[in-house]
Amino acid sequence: MKYIQSSKNEKVKQWKKLTTKKERDKSGLFLVEGEHLVEEALQAGLIQEVIVTESYQPKLAKVKFSGHDVFVIANDISKLISETETPQGIFAVCKQFNHSKVAGSKYLLIDAVQDPGNLGTMIRTADAVGADAVIVGEGSVDVYNAKVLRSAQGSNFHLPIIRGNLHEWIDKLQQQSIPVYGTALQNGEPMYEVQSGASFAIIVGNEGQGVDPSLLAKTTKNLYIPIYGKSESLNVAVATGVLLYYLRGNK
């Protein structure tokens, strides 16, 4: 147990830097916040340091974190590293995942989704439907962004979330005979043209632009969700849920 009273402490400076993508990429670390996510990180074996405020300290179950460095910080310091309005007072510095081997039959591919709440919700939904991995292409919000992690509610610890090149992934999945479905309002087919199946990958795209046409050109088929009313489209996280559950079906 180490006590830190000064916001100028080197550790504090380092944690604060982890709120930026640049530093997360450089260090291979990320910061999680709140009891639930710290618990999930612990179970995933990714925790490097635990940080609690003085106020939180009496609630800290010490046995649970034995073997980990625990830092107790002055309450005020938590505001510097927190990205919520009312910090719970517990944080963890975690190692980023290293998923060298990924295997499976159900994939979600994400192209340039900008809103962290959407991306986190999509990761949560992919977990729920039993997907084997989520592949996040370039141009999307960072998967280790605090709001993404909060919206994912721990699901980022449950299945591989991989930053990758979507063109390469489409090739790789198709070589494994996994059908890859794009989503496109124009020149697509209603999702009902495809039967629910044991293996599939689905690509969903940017909130405004949809999936990049160069990706759509490589897919097995491009699908859309029928709109029966007068709205122009669905929210991308909702659309992802509808498609994933439809494609999985009642198996």
Which residues here bind a copy of itself, judged by CB under 8 A? 117, 121, 124-131, 151, 153-155, 158-159, 190, 192, 225, 227-235, 237-242, 245-246, 248, 250
| Beta carbon of residue 1, minimum distance to a copy of itself (angstroms, whole number) | 31
| Beta carbon of residue 38, minimum distance to a copy of itself (angstroms, whole number) | 16
Of 52 and 225, CB closest to a copy of itself: 225
| Beta carbon of residue 36, minimum distance to a copy of itself (angstroms, whole number) | 10
SS3 letters across the chain = CEEECCCCCHHHHHHHHCCCHHHHHHHCEEEEECHHHHHHHHHCCCEEEEEEECCCHHHCCCHHHCCCEEEEECHHHHHHHCCCCCCCCEEEEEECCCCCCCCCCEEEEEECCCCHHHHHHHHHHHHHCCCCEEEECCCCCCCCCHHHHHHHCCHHHCCCEEECCHHHHHHHHHHCCCCEEEECCCCCEEHHHCCCCCCEEEEEEECCCECCHHHHCCCCEEEECCCCCCCCCCCHHHHHHHHHHHHHCCC
Q: 170-177 long-range CB contacts below 8 Å, 24 or more apart?
A: 170/109, 170/201, 170/203, 170/215, 170/218, 170/219, 171/218, 173/107, 173/201, 174/220
Of 57 and 233, CB closest to a copy of itself: 233
Half-sphere exposure of 215 (CA within 13 A, CB side): 27
Of 190 and 213, CB closest to a copy of itself: 190
Q: Would you state the structure tokens that stand for residue 44, as one six-digit string?
A: 């995933």
Of 206 and 240, CB closest to a copy of itself: 240
Of 62 and 251, CB closest to a copy of itself: 251
| Beta carbon of residue 184, minimum distance to a copy of itself (angstroms, whole number) | 16
| Beta carbon of residue 158, minimum distance to a copy of itself (angstroms, whole number) | 4
Of 49 and 115, CB closest to a copy of itself: 115
Of 129 and 162, CB closest to a copy of itself: 129
| Beta carbon of residue 244, minimum distance to a copy of itself (angstroms, whole number) | 8
